[in-house]
Chains A and B, each alone.
Chain A
Amino acid sequence: MLSPVQILHFEATAFLFGLAAIVAYQLLTGQINLQGILQRKDGTGQTSPERIQLLLATLAAAARYLAAVAQSHSGTLPDIDNNWLYVMGGSSGIYVAHKAWSTFKAAQQLGEKS
């Protein structure tokens, strides 16, 4: 007979994978809005390179960490290599810096118009 701990593990795993599956399904079928996720918000509708690099860095870091967890037998969460932290920090920094620059540039143009 299953113990309560085993049942709880099964429930937690099923819930998390079920939730991830539903979110992934809704993302792929367009039920969760992804409109404009890779486009600049300055009204030009152009594809944004800094968003693409952030997406790629995010997916790469997530896949790398999941692989490390799958290979880990130590019973602890594996640490993340500093190089990956630099990649994520740099990637996020580029995204935020460009967002700030484009927003304040648009604000400046608005101020000049008015």
Chain B
Amino acid sequence: MIDIQIKKNLKNYLKSLIEKEKNRIKIISVYSLSKEEIEKLTKFFSKSSAEIENIIDPSIIGGMIIQQGSKIIDLSIKNRLKNIEKKYGNY
């Protein structure tokens, strides 16, 4: 059996990790986003404390992928093409 205090501490640690992860926003794009673009995105998230990380990945072809915690908004061209493939390519 795990000690109650250890359990509580572990729970708090995980909560803080989740919170930290929520404040951390990953934006995957083809090119490095400009300050202006990042600012606009920060406004969109309405979290001034949010930590935005811009990851460059040319494989997404175009658009961007936004990841906050476990939530992902995939607005990349690669994803659009994948959806088309799912719709017409896999019978």
- Do A and B originate from a single complex? no
Q: Contact residues of A with B, CB < 8 Å? A: none
Q: Contact residues of B with A, CB < 8 Å? A: none
